[in-house]
Structure 1
Amino acid sequence: MNKYLLNGKLTAKPGHQEALAAILLQASELVATAKGCRLYVIGQNPDDPHSVYITEIWDSKADHDQSLKVEGVRELISQAMPLLDGPPAKGQELELLGGAGI
């Protein structure tokens, strides 16, 4: 299976986790129709009140990269950046082996 799987974690400044999550949920709606998007979900860990987690599955890395050109995505990125507690860390790229619903 040659899918592209990306796990990411963004850490918000104190008090901004909900706003960051809301922006990422808006982004998920925009990229849901992008070519190759199989999954784009946002989560949180109750034990980590400042972070928001993103899990993405794409048909290819190229499809993921193209999703950054979807109308409105760059605007959402610019809204999210001031909420972050430092620069975003590079997401964890994994080889997708398979699973239910894929």
Structure 2
Amino acid sequence: MKKYGLHGNLQAVEGKGDSLADILVQASALVSDAKGCHLYMVSRDAQDKERVWVTEVWDSKEDHDQSLHMEGVQALIAQAMPLLAGQPEKGVVMEVLTGI
């Protein structure tokens, strides 16, 4: 069965990479038990301390979209937005074939 995947990064303003990463780790804890979530991985960029990568694997796009409405998720998004160095770019959508 094919899965829905997303891979993208967020660039924090100078000096806010740690704070942004902390918020995304909190988001991971919230959605990791959500329906259809197989992976919500938060990674720091080894070359850019202000860039944080997020890799997600879901059963479907619908499951992913529903996770955005879970209790607490919108509050974390609101906390993260002022830390970003510009609008977040759309991540790469992937059709996950194996690995989970």
TM-score, scaled relative to structure 1 = 0.95
Specify every segment of 5 or more residues in structure 1 that has no aligned partner in the other structure, as ranges.
none
Match of 1:49 in 2: 49
Q: Which amino acid aligns with 1:21?
A: A
SS at match of 1:62: helix
Match of 2:71 in 1: 71
- Superposed counterparts of 1:23-102, under 5 Å: 23-99=23-99, 102=100
Which whole-Å CA distance do the structure 1 matches of 2:45 and 2:87 have between them?
20
SS at match of 2:98: coil
Give the deviation of 1:96 after TM superposition.
Answer: 0.8
| Superposition misfits of 4+ residues, deviation over 2 angstroms | none
Q: For the aligned residues, what is the CA RMSD? A: 0.7
The aligned length equals: 100
Give the deviation of 1:41 after TM superposition.
Answer: 0.7
Identity of aligned residues (%): 56
